[in-house]
Structure 1
Amino acid sequence: MATATTVEPTRRDFLYIATGAVAAVGTAAVIWPLISQMSPDASTLALASTEVDIGAIPEGQIVTIKWRGKPVFIRHRTAKEIAAAEEVNVATLPDPQTDAARVQKPQWLIVVGVCTHLGCIPLGHAGEYDGWFCPCHGSVYDTSGRIRKGPAPKNLVVPAYSFLTDSKVKIG
């Protein structure tokens, strides 16, 4: 009849296990800083979003703030500007987009202030449509930031934003 025999652990078995454990801890200690350094810096995370108090912006004015190193235009539109933006026949636009698709609240337009042609900064309350005019190459944007004339291929970019309160907006 067969009998079961158990083998007693030896000192060599203990050394194999201990060596493996030390190697695993050493590998983790070396890899951890390498993975950790791939995380964004705190100053970068701080630039990821910004909160702006829009309660002090009078109707009809444009305020420029900086977000992620780019200018962002916040325009408090008048009823006349809103009506003009909503009346446009979207089919006639080079980059068709309705005004409602570009704003969350009709009186507030928030766009990145960089011309989509060559990256210039357009001038506000300028141009044929009283929106923005890029003096470098003549691109004309309306009060909704949509390209109307000129070489720019796209509308001014609308960043991700949300209204925290009626007078505070978070961009990013």
Structure 2
Amino acid sequence: MTDTAVADNPAQSGPESGDGVRRRDFIYVAATSAAGVGAASVLIPLVSQMAPSADVLAESSTELDIGSIQPGQAIKAVFRKQPVFVRRLTPKEIAEAKAVPVDSLRDPQSLEDRTKKGKEEWLITMGVCTHLGCVPLGTGEGEVKGEFGGYFCPCHGSVYDTAARIRKGPAPKNLEVPPYEFTSDTVVKIG
């Protein structure tokens, strides 16, 4: 075959033919780019809709100024749309909580397990009874605190001590302690 026969017959053009390779590469790059842009335009909204909304992010933590709470007093706050009890224990309440044999409890936890080291006078728990989710009494002035001086659930009679440990009634567990940290001596961040 001669050189003119190869140039006239497009079926026989091979890698030596620069025009065919360049066109093919351009089509490949253009198709890949179009597919990438299409995939990104579908995936970006799909992934961004799965991110938590602004109101959920705003409720992911709560900061409380606890400086005005007096010993023996408790307050009720809100964390993730649920009540939180913040109680400042008196030295007498701390001594009573420590005197209870842990192995005698239904859900054995010591006061040290439920408070931060060096801040054992501050007890922070979720204000939701572990039986059926009612809100126990005991944070407000004059509210029934039960025979152990902590919290009393009016729905089914669960009684918690000053360390918010279940002592009597149908609740299976102690009031839950949420994750928290002290950002200063008077400010606690829950969550």
> Which protein has the bigger helix share?
2
CA separation in 2, counterparts of 1:171 and 1:7? 71
Verify: 1:171 aligned to 2:190, yes or no: yes
Gaps of at least 5 residues in structure 2 are 1-14, 139-143
Find the counterpart in structure 2 of residue 132 from structure 1: 151
Secondary structure (helix, strand or coil) at the match of 2:176 reads coil
Instruction: Return the TM-score normalized by structure 2.
Output: 0.85
What SS is found at the alignment partner of 2:135?
coil
Instruction: Look up the SS of the partner of 1:25 in the other structure.
Output: helix
SS of match in other structure, 2:112: coil
Q: CA separation in 2, counterparts of 1:162 and 1:95? A: 23
Q: CA deviation at 1:7?
A: 4.6
Q: Does 1:81 align with 2:105?
A: no
Cα shift at 1:16: 2.4
Residues 1:42 and 2:54 aligned together: yes
Deviations 1:120-139 (A, max 9, x none): 11111610111001111110
Q: TM-score scaled to structure 1, two decimals?
A: 0.94
SS in 2 for 1:152: coil
Amino acid at match of 1:79: P
The alignment-based identity, stated in percent, is 57
> Hey, what does 1:121 align to over in structure 2?
135
Q: CA RMSD in A?
A: 1.2
Local SS of the residue matching 1:52: strand
Structure 1: which 4+ aligned runs deviate by more than 4 Å?
A: none
2:163 equivalent to 1:149: no
Separation of aligned partners in 2, 1:143 and 1:56: 20
Q: Point out the structure with the larger strand share.
A: 1
Secondary structure at the aligned position of 2:113 is classed as coil
- Bigger CA radius of gyration: 2
Q: Distance in 2 between matches of 1:7 and 1:167?
A: 80
